[in-house]
């Protein structure tokens, strides 16, 4: 079985748990995901099954879209509601709407982020959350990410008793962007503590929340023999690349990993034979050369 399953991961479950349950249901060990979702975040988690694991980098490169909520007035150790409150800056009056929108615009485009201590980024062979849980600090590597869109989607709600203000947002971002950190950075720009108080990933790997399938629904499809309705072909991850239908001779060359001469001007192409994706080739030195091969069950595999 090869393909991509847009899974819906609920809150309270790790991405690793989601993969574990999918493996048990599908009786397939080779399953990977294209971008971790924290336990308190729900939404789309595309799972790559079988040979589709080779498409994970392509799925991740497509970017992600989130909806969520930012609360101003306090901050936590984890930058979300899972952590302990470490700072309070009670608001005595609400932040003006135009000021909120201006700050969100400031955090749009190419930005530099420092991953949160409670994250899976590795430093010196250890995950950052391992340092954090041990009460240790370590210098974290900066990373360049792109925030394509960052917009407020609700009227702010001010709570004078708690000294907080919260509002909902939608953000379209590149891979590697931490929305938790983005929430904190919004607060810093406003001069107050802030936290990401809710988050849902509504699009990832080109799949939307409406296309996502729960584990319960997956189990039902397995029982009814309708898996083909929810497992998408690998080809969908490369839909933006020009498609080439191979001749029999060209297919033999591809099976042996040989270079191809194609009268095209695209940096990468997807190669099909008999209606099935066989390889991704890249243009280099005046020829098309193997980039990603999907010939796991065929002889002469490279």
Q: Answer yes or no: 38 catalytic.
A: yes
How far is 219 from 231, CA to CA, in rounded Å? 13
How far is 293 from 280, CA to CA, in rounded Å? 6
Q: How many CB atoms lie within 10 A of CB 284?
A: 11
| Residue of 38, 42, 80, 235 marked active site | 38
205: left (phi > 0), else alpha (psi -120 to 50), else beta? left
For the record, the structure tokens of 216 come out as: 């319960």
How far is 280 from 264, CA to CA, in rounded Å? 14
Q: Where are the beta strands (DSSP E) in the chain?
A: 3-9, 31-33, 42-49, 64-72, 74-76, 85-88, 109-113, 122-123, 126-127, 143-152, 157-159, 164-173, 194-204, 207-208, 243-245, 268-273, 276-284, 287-293
Q: What are phi and psi of 290, to 5 degrees?
A: -60, 135
E strand or H helix at 181, and its extent? helix 179-190
CA distance between the termini of the chain: 20
- Backbone Cα Rg of the chain: 22
- Residues classed as catalytic: 38
């Amino acid at each position: 079985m090869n393909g991509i399953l847009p899974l819906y991961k609920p809150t309270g479950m790790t991405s690793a748990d989601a993969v574990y349950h999918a493996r048990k249901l599908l009786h397939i060990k080779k399953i990977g995901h294209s971008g971790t979702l924290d336990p308190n975040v729900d939404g789309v988690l595309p799972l790559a099954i079988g040979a589709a694991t080779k498409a994970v980098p392509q799925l991740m490169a497509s970017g992600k879209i989130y909806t969520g909520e930012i609360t101003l007035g306090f901050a936590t150790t984890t930058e979300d509601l899972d952590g302990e409150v470490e700072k309070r800056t009670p608001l005595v009056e609400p932040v003006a709407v135009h000021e909120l929108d201006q700050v969100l615009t400031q955090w749009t485009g190419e930005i530099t982020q420092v991953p949160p201590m409670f994250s899976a980024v590795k430093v010196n062979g250890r995950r950052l959350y391992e340092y954090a849980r041990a009460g240790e600090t370590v210098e974290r590597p900066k990373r360049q990410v792109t925030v394509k869109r960052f917009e407020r989607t609700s009227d702010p709600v001010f709570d004078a008793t708690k000294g907080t203000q919260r509002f909902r947002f939608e953000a379209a971002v590149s891979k590697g962007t931490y929305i938790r950190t983005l929430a904190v950075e919004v607060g810093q720009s406003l001069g107050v503590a802030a936290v990401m108080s809710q988050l849902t990933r509504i699009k990832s790997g080109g799949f939307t929340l409406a296309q996502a399938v729960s584990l319960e629904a997956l189990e039902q499809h397995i029982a009814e023999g309708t898996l083909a309705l929810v497992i998408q072909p690998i080809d969908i991850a490369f839909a933006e690349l020009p498609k080439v239908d191979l001749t029999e001779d060209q297919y033999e060359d591809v099976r042996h990993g040989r270079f191809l001469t194609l009268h095209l001007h695209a940096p990468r192409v997807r190669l099909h034979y008999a209606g099935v994706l066989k390889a991704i080739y890249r243009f280099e030195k005046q020829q098309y050369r193997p980039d990603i091969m999907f010939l796991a069950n065929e002889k002469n595999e490279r």
